[in-house]
Structure 1
Amino acid sequence: MKIKNLTVCYEQLAILEDFSLELPDQGIICFFAPSGTGKTTLLRVLCGLMPAQSGTIEGLEEKKFAFVFQEDRLIPSLSVRDNVGLVLGKEYQALAQEYLGALGLSGWEDSFPDELSGGMQRRAAIARAFAYGKQHEGNVVYLLDEPLKGLDEKTAEQVMEFIRQKTKDSLTFFITHDKEQARILSNQILCFEGQPMKLKEILYRK
């Protein structure tokens, strides 16, 4: 996929300015940069949640996007199972149970978000995004904005393995501030600086 001459502004502040980048069509691509650089803005523009003032994005036409936001965005009045099932068609409802179990939430399916710890809520949000993505396998792009935030080391390792298995043959964009997580999970690490945000260097997983 290609990003060509992208410009995105908040009022008078340029977050991206004449920004161009060519990326592979598969693999886990990490965006690594200090807070406030523009990584989340770029994710939002890629999936159409935020408009660009100018520029083009090629290669994502007709794609579906499974987004893990920085905020968990669970619906308080729905159980964990129903939060995941909300994004699923009838024929895919079993995925809610499967993915919650894979992420260590077996036994909590009928609980409500406020009954879960922050890390458990995070995993429920991840289960929801990946269950949605499974329905569109082969045509989905995963956007993971600090998906491991608030998870202890052991749980983060479990979730990284889940992500690695579920994103095979897909394109995934992954934001983290943890260098070790970036190294373990990513196929390619893009280091940015700014503002406006610009590419500093590209690191490849060894």
Structure 2
Amino acid sequence: MSLEFRHIAHAYGEVQALRDISLVAPAGEITCLLGSSGCGKSTLLGLAAGLLPVQRGAILLDGDVLADETNAPPPEKRPVGLVFQEGALFPHMDMRRNIAFGLPKVRHGEIEGWLEQVGLAGLGSRYPHELSGGQQQRAALARAMAPGPAVLLMDEPFASVDIVLRRRLRRDCRMLLKERGATTILVTHDPAEALDIGDRIAVMEAGRIVQFGSPEELHEAPRAASIGAMFSGAQVVPAERRGELLATPFGDWPADCVPGVMPDVVRLDLLVHARAIDLVPDPEGLPVRDVHGLGDGTVRVLLREGGGRDLAIETPQAPAPGERFGVVPHTGSVRAFAAE
């Protein structure tokens, strides 16, 4: 079943958390809400779960109103499953009873199957404190999915797990969700996580969705430099067009560093990759602030301009701190956007 947010707005007192959000999470897909703290993503999830009342707009499940300004069923009356950052398992219950919570007794025979599906076979008699963080999250996922909810809502579900286990856990989680055909909305602040698990990603800033699309669309056709930087690992450099040159804090760059037609504006944001910049010795250039080996025969060099902005260059060269260089991006390597 698809989940639709239609013209949703929400405020905490004078603070506007969400501003006219419209979004459809397609049936059977994993939709990630991606953004920094305070952008409104957890508020949107809370509205879908019934943890918050809808102040303006409506939430629809497969075309039928689930909640709006006059109808707000509580969480237990909604066909949704919830998985939070810490799992929220009952500490006084073992894994079998945790997963059985909310299931009718006639379905308790399914519990061992769920333990096996999430990689916890043989651990049903253990209590939460006897499991690792990753195992607890697997148990929380099984408990949320066992009742067969129409929609699964996940709020930073892997944030408390160490990074090595996190990668494996989120990929295992994706496979389980896809096998079950679950419509899922997952909140995260980590672009790598969104790319790793999401079928579609909604990028949120200041209570709005600034772009919604597949990982490929966001990577290949970002609408703003900030979105491109989020998914490509590039850095944003401000610039002004001056004839055939682009004036940046790091010097004047030739306009041919940008392929194709640039936006027809004076002020630009340039998306620049650290490995697509050449260092040019220049006694009047920018000083080297730091040199750091990356372990693959490449070093990361930080140059600082007079206003305090740093530029990272990844190169086989290893200059000494204090040396000065000019910088020139490779021809055709830079993306240009109208300044935000």
SS for the counterpart of 1:93 is: helix
Gaps of 5+ in 1: none
Asked whether the 8 Å contact 2:134–2:165 carries over to 1, the reply is: no
* Among 152, 158, 161, the residue aligned to 1:148: 158
1:49-93 C-alpha deviation (Å, 9 max, x unpaired): 210211112235466101112232111111111011112122322
User: Shift of residue 154 of structure 1?
Assistant: 4.7
Within the candidate set 215, 218, 221, 1:205 is matched to 215
Give the aligned residue type for 1:164: M
Alignment match, 2:284: none
**Which residue matches 2:175?**
164
Alignment of 1:100 onto 2:104: no
- Candidates 199, 205, 225, aligned match of 1:193: 205
Q: Which amino acid in structure 2 is aligned with residue 35 of structure 1?
A: S
Spell out the pairing of 1:82-93 with structure 2 (5 A cutoff).
82-93=97-108
Question: SS at the partner of 1:181?
Answer: helix
Structure 2's unaligned 5+ residue stretches are: 67-77, 217-340
Larger strand percent:
2
65, 71, 74: which is aligned to 2:80? 65
1:187 CA drift (Å)? 1.0
Q: How many angstroms apart in 2 are the aligned matches of 1:17 and 1:160?
A: 32
**Alpha-carbon distance, 1:152 to partner:** 4.5
| Cα separation, 2, equivalents of 1:112 and 1:120 | 11
Corresponding position of 1:56: 58
Could you tell me which residue of structure 1 aligns to residue 278 of structure 2? none
Write out per-residue CA displacement over residues 92-133 of structure 1, whole angstroms, 9 at most, x where no aligned residue.
Answer: 223322222232222321111122222222221111111122
Structure 1 residue 38 displacement after superposition: 1.4
Native 8 Å contact 1:144 1:174 kept in 2? yes
Residue aligning to 1:41: 43
Aligned residues: 199
Q: Which has the larger radius of gyration?
A: 2
Separation in 1 of the partners of 2:26 and 2:139? 29
Which residue number corresponds to residue 131 of structure 2? 116
Question: 1:46: Cα distance to partner?
Answer: 1.4
Q: CA deviation at 1:159?
A: 4.7
TM-score normalised by structure 2 residue count: 0.53
- Counterpart of 1:115, as a letter, is E
Is the CA contact (8 Å cut-off) linking 1:102 and 1:162 kept in structure 2? no
Q: TM-score normalised to the size of structure 1?
A: 0.84
Task: Deviation per CA, 1:29-59: give whole Å up to 9, x if none.
Answer: 1111012211111011013221021111223
| Partner-residue secondary structure (3-state), 1:132 | coil
Q: Which amino acid aligns with 2:38?
A: G
Q: Which has the higher contact order (CA 8 A, sep 6+)?
A: 1
